[in-house]
Each structure stands twice: as C-alpha cells, then as structure tokens.
Amino acid sequence: MTHDYTIEIEPVDIEPYREGNTGIPFMTTFDSGRDGPHVMVMAVTHGNELCGPIAVDWLFKQSVKPERGKLSLGFSNWRAYQSFDPEDPDASRFVDEDINRVWDVSTLDGDRNTAETERAREIRPLIDQVDLLLDIHSMTTLCEPLMICGPLEKGRQFAREVAIPEYVVCDEGHTAGKRMRDYGGFGDPGSPKNALLVECGQHWEKRSAQVAQDVMVRFLGHCGVVDADFVSQNLGDADTPKQKIIEVTGPYTITADQPFTWKGIYVGFEVIEKAGTVLGLDGDKEVGTPYDNCVLIMPNRIKGKDHSAVRFGRYVD
C-alpha cells in the first residue's frame, strides 16, 4: 500500500498499560463502587490509527476514575500497533486480518485461528460486560470526522446525545464481517447496551488527535463517568454543530483483484446529483451512483477485492 499524507502525529508508548488489571493484556477497568453503567473506550482496533491511543494515553494521565459504574480503557490490536513504521505506515493496520471484521459469533466460536481472532476471543469476556462503548478510529483519506452509529434508532439517538461530530452515519456494517460496535447487545434493538464508532479524520493528521479527545470527553460526560467541569475544561472545541444524519443504503464492494480506479477526486460527503454518474472502474466494470442525490461516504483509494470502495447514502432529517 502507498500513501500521500504527511505524518503529523507520533505514536505514544502503550507499553506501560500492558499489565492492566483485568487479566487481559492492555485492558484496564476502574470501578467506582457505585451503581452505574460499564463504559469503555477502545483504541487501536487498527494498528495504524494513532489518534485513539493518543487520546486514551492522555486520559490515563489525567488519573480519571468513574464517578459511578465502571470505566474500561483498552488497546485492541496492540500487536499491530507496536509494529507501526512511519516509513510504511499502512502495513501495521493488522497482523493477519482486520480485527473489526471478526465480531460475529460464528467466527468467535469457530476454529479460524489468526492473531486477530485470538485477540478478539481474549478480550470478548470483557466486551460482554460493557454497556456503553466508544471505539476510536481514523480514516485512510482526508475527510471530515464522522460518527458511525449502526443501523438502529438507539445508536442514532446516542450519537445525537454525544452531539459531535457534525456527520452521523447510520449503516449495517461490512460484508467482510461484523464490527465490534455491532457485536452482541450493541446490535440488538431490545438491549440497553449501545456503541458508537468515531472516525476522527485522516490517520496521521494532527487534528485527528484533538477530535478523538473531544469526542471521548463528551462521550464520558454523557455516560456520567466524568462531571461537567472536566468536560468543559478539556475540550479543544466546545461547539456542538447541527448534526447531519446520513443513512447508508449499502457499500460498493470491490470484486476485481486490484484496487478500485476512481475517475475523480472524492474525499467524502460529496452529493452526486444524478443516478448513474460513473465514479470509477472495478476492474473493467463501470460503477455509478445508484440513485439521485447520492452521498459518497469514505471513498477509499487503496483497498482491494472484498473491501468497500465507497458507501452510498442519503441525507435524512
């Protein structure tokens, strides 16, 4: 893989958090001793995404303890993260496969054996205890930050309550496998559990680290883990924009053996007025927009076969 982006931030050292206190490497839980939800912030689901560990490392250093319930802080794919090389930064996304595509029960209970399925099974007992999850990510291309809330109304409402970022994407996930934010009760409309996945911007832009911190602090404030003073004192941007809700109708999944070839430069949230507008080539197949006023979400220039080249959506509300 290749990239054309300047690396403006540096990975933080997460080794001090290896032991934790849960019996699971790189997982720490603080218990207030008072009734309340079990809240979790997860970083490094992908090893080349630096803003999450920067934010979680910062939170550890604030010595924050939950005012009620429990707070867990974790580093998911730490092996991939610790292989990060600024000379080849994309290579550390995962070890064997994307850990954010293995969270279906059949995979977790099955016999597929990779570094990522091993790690997912290792942290699964902790995730089973979590009521409210924030999974911090970043994106391959320069794009405005966005919150992915899943397909359910409870996720959409949760995103509204956290109130940032401006764009909220409602989707079913990926054909390649289930994400952590859709696992178990998070993806069950009858469960009080809930989860959000924030994409903070391009992987290595400086702004992504501040976005990660702001979203995390607002999330913790909304969940009752920290008080309003902590929230107000630690926001880089106190504005709460009018959120724009986008419903994803589906991804375009690449079928050719090479990356999707784009005909134009798209960075995300472009609205393509006419159905059938050709966006690019999947091998020798032309791919166009499926309907009028189609919103392009997270167009990707480096992914290959069986990955999403782009997701199509519509503005709602």
Q: What are 168's two structure tokens?
A: 């909220």
Map tokens 């580093």 to a residue: 75
Please indicate whether residue 169 or residue 5 has the higher confidence score (pLDDT): 169
CA separation for the pair 220, 222 (Å, rounded): 5
Q: What are 290's two structure tokens?
A: 């499926």
Closest CA to 3 of 139, 200, 207, 144: 139
- What band does 1 get if pLDDT is binned at 50, 70 and 90? very low
Residue 184 has pLDDT above 80, yes or no: yes
Which residue ranges form the domains of the chain, and what is each CATH number? 15-242 (3.40.630.10), 250-316 (2.40.50)
Please state, for a pLDDT cut of 90, what percent of the chain lies above it: 86
pLDDT at residue 199, rounded to an integer: 97
Among 40-44, 255-259, 301-305, the range of highest mean pLDDT = 40-44
pLDDT digits (tens, 9 = 90+) for 11-35: 999 999 999 999 999 999 999 999 9
Mean of the per-residue pLDDT values of the chain: 95
Q: Average pLDDT of 272-284?
A: 96
Please indicate whether residue 190 or residue 298 has the higher confidence score (pLDDT): 190
CA separation for the pair 75, 45 (Å, rounded): 7
CA separation for the pair 209, 222 (Å, rounded): 20
Residue 182 has pLDDT above 80, yes or no: yes
Q: Average pLDDT of 95-117?
A: 97
CA separation for the pair 3, 10 (Å, rounded): 16
Backbone angles phi, psi at 281, to 5 degrees: -120, 135
Q: What are 52's two structure tokens?
A: 């999450």
CA separation for the pair 212, 199 (Å, rounded): 8
CA separation for the pair 212, 148 (Å, rounded): 14
pLDDT at residue 3, rounded to an integer: 56
CA separation for the pair 55, 43 (Å, rounded): 8
Q: Average pLDDT of 106-110?
A: 97
Q: Where are the alpha helices (DSSP H) in 141-296?
A: 153-162, 206-222, 228-233
pLDDT at residue 183, rounded to an integer: 98
- What band does 214 get if pLDDT is binned at 50, 70 and 90? very high
Q: Average pLDDT of 280-301?
A: 93
Alpha carbon 202 to its chain's center: 12
Residue 2 has pLDDT above 50, yes or no: no
Backbone angles phi, psi at 70, to 5 degrees: -125, 150
CB 211 within 8 A of CB 201: yes
The model carries a pTM of 0.93
pLDDT digits (tens, 9 = 90+) for 133-179: 999 999 988 889 999 999 999 999 999 999 999 999 999 887 778 99
**Alpha-carbon distances, residue 246 vs 22, 233, 265, 284, 312 (angstroms):** 38, 31, 21, 30, 9
Which of 57-66, 87-96, 238-247, 300-309 has the weakest average pLDDT? Answer: 300-309
Please indicate whether residue 253 or residue 62 has the higher confidence score (pLDDT): 62
Q: Average pLDDT of 281-286?
A: 94
